[in-house]
Amino acid sequence: MTQRTLVILKPDAVRRGLIGEVLGRIERKAGWTIPAMELRTLDQETLEQHYGEHKGKPFYEPLMGFMASGPVVVLVVEGERVIEGVRQLAGPTDPIAAAPGSIRGDFGTIVRENLIHASDSEESAERELKIFFPGRV
């Protein structure tokens, strides 16, 4: 089943020069395409829309500060079972628990700055794509 998902290369991935590496891993996956991609710095309103469900949790404010700390790359990835696949490619949030070969397993350093976001379900992907690419997907 063909799906679309939102992927964000977070400020730490951009700062560390990992954009090409991560995009290459996505592009090499047979049948996946990137129909939209932008480099941007996220404003407070967009961050609040995206992370609003976490407001009040202990990690919310540090996460908001981190995500506003520099440019990110936002992209739409399309393909067969892409939601599940990109999350597998990203690996678990904890880089120690992430398997070698996953993005976080190969490049992750700390849990809070974990390189990549990928939608976790079809519902999340639909909601998130509307936030980051309104009217385009």
When pLDDT is averaged across residues 75-100 and rounded to a whole number, the result is 96
**Binding site feature residues:** 10, 59, 87, 93, 104, 114
Q: Which one of the listed residues 72, 82, 91, 117 is annotated catalytic?
A: 117
Percent of the chain with pLDDT over 90: 93
The one-letter amino acid code at 76 reads: V
When pLDDT is averaged across residues 13-24 and rounded to a whole number, the result is 98
CA-CA distance, 75 to 86, in Å (whole number)?
12
Under the banding of pLDDT at 50, 70 and 90, the label for residue 62 is: very high
* Helix (H/G/I), strand (E/B), else coil: 37: strand
Whole-model pTM?
Answer: 0.95
Q: Could you report the per-residue pLDDT of 25-52, keeping only the tens digit for each?
A: 999 998 999 999 999 999 999 999 999 8
The yes-or-no answer on residue 117 being catalytic is yes
Domain 2-132 CATH assignment equals 3.30.70.141: yes
